[in-house]
């Protein structure tokens, strides 16, 4: 239901799940955290606490680690942004799902925000080997290369992005990179 933009049905489903579980179960707290984020008035602090409790029961819970990474990357409000903390959860999430392209993209974004451009480039290279037409991966690679002062390489990605989707012509960073000689 979350993926289809139906938070009310998602909350109802999580409530049913919680009613079948014990508070000593990690999934109980994952459901509680999800409800806190999906509710009409999101309670991110409560969600963080719930996901942290879930990790006390099950340190390898994918959903708890992944959602905490997203929270600390600012997905649920810039006041919770903490990219150093997000990195811990993104690395754990990758260790739990090493072939997950979305996890690698999140990790690469995290690396870029921390200024770890070489790590971002290495991670994005893995993604682009599997999904060469990934728009987010190509964009992030362009950004990482540009930040790493690899302007010629960044320009190649900017041109490829426009070739894949002409809407990138109006992107500020793409335009900036393409204007450089």
**Residue 68 is encoded by which pair of tokens?**
């905490």
What is the token pair recorded at 134? 């990934």
Structure token digits, residue 96? 């739990």
Query: What's the predicted TM-score (pTM) here?
Result: 0.91
d(CA 119, CA 153): 16
Q: What is the CA radius of gyration of the chain?
A: 19
For residue 63, give the nearest of 85, 92, 88 by alpha carbon: 92
Query: 22: burial class by Cβ within 10 Å (0-12, 13-18, 19+)?
Result: exposed
Cβ count near 164 (within 10 Å): 15
50, 29 Cβ separation under 8 angstroms: yes
Token pair of 50, please?
């719930």
pLDDT in tens for each of the 181 residues of the chain? Answer: 988 889 999 999 999 999 999 999 999 999 999 999 998 889 999 999 999 999 999 999 999 999 999 999 999 989 999 999 999 999 999 999 999 999 999 999 999 999 999 999 999 999 999 999 999 999 999 999 999 999 999 999 999 999 999 999 999 999 999 997 5
Tokens 């390898």: give the residue.
60
Q: What is the pLDDT of residue 180?
A: 75
Separation CA 96–CA 75 (nearest Å) = 21
Which long-range contacts (C-beta less than 8 Å, at least 24 apart) are formed by 129-133? 130/101, 131/101, 133/164
> pLDDT value at position 181?
54
DSSP assignment string, 47-77: HHHHHHHHHHH-TT-HHHHHHHHHHHTTTT-
Distances, alpha carbon 47 to alpha carbons 30, 109, 138, 166, in Å:
8, 22, 32, 39
- Encoded tokens for 154: 């960044």
């Amino acid at each position: 239901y979350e993926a289809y933009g139906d938070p009310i049905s998602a909350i109802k489903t999580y409530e049913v799940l919680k009613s079948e579980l014990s508070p000593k179960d990690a999934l109980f707290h994952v459901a509680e955290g999800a409800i806190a984020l999906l509710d009409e008035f999101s309670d991110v602090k409560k969600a963080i606490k719930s996901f942290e409790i879930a990790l006390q029961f099950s340190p390898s819970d994918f959903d708890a680690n992944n959602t905490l990474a997203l929270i600390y990357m600012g997905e649920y409000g810039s006041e919770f942004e903490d990219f150093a903390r997000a990195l811990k959860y993104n690395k754990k999430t990758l260790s739990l799902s090493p072939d997950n392209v979305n996890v690698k993209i999140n990790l690469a974004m995290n690396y870029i925000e921390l200024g770890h451009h070489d790590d971002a480039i290495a991670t994005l290279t893995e993604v682009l080997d599997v999904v060469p037409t990934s728009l987010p991966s190509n964009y992030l690679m362009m950004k990482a290369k540009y930040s790493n002062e690899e302007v010629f390489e960044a320009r190649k990605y900017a041109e490829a992005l426009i070739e894949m989707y002409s809407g990138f012509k109006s992107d500020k960073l793409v335009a900036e990179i393409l204007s450089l000689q």
